[in-house]
Copies of this chain bind each other. A is one copy, B any other.
Amino acid sequence: MIKEENKVSYQTLSQYLKVIADSNRLEILDLLSCGELCACDLLEHFEFSQPTLSHHMKTLRDNNLILMRKDGNKNMYRLNTEVINNLTDRLSLLSSDTVPCICEDIRKGTC
């Protein structure tokens, strides 16, 4: 049970999941887990175009999953580990039956 005490909305969580549910963005995050990289280093690793990478990096940034700093004309990216850990920690609750939860909303066998 993820939604303890109504603090998390499924919408919010699904928004994060949509961001990492793209295999290319997932790979970008995974590569950044080894350390900071610039966009052009990442681009060489993939087959898609530069605007496509730019689009993915913007999506990741807009959702606060990565952090960026400027270094000359390069953009240096790194994971926002705090946000990512928070996300994966929440997901780990998905198969746990921790109480209190919203399960009381469900009345079994009423149909």
Count of chain copies: 2
| CB pair A14 B18 closer than 8 Å | no
Chain B residues closer than 8 Å to A108, beta-carbon distance: 37-38, 41
Given contacts A21-B18, A92-B92, A44 and B97 within 8 Å (CB-CB): no
Choose from B11, B21, B95 the contact partner of A33 (Cβ within 8 Å): B95
A residues with a Cβ closer than 8 A to B are: 1-3, 10-11, 13-14, 17-18, 20-24, 26-27, 29-31, 33-35, 37-38, 40-45, 79, 81, 84-85, 88-89, 91-97, 101-103, 105-111
A interface, by DSSP: helix, strand, loop or mixed?
helix
Choose from B26, B35, B106, B111 the contact partner of A14 (Cβ within 8 Å): B26
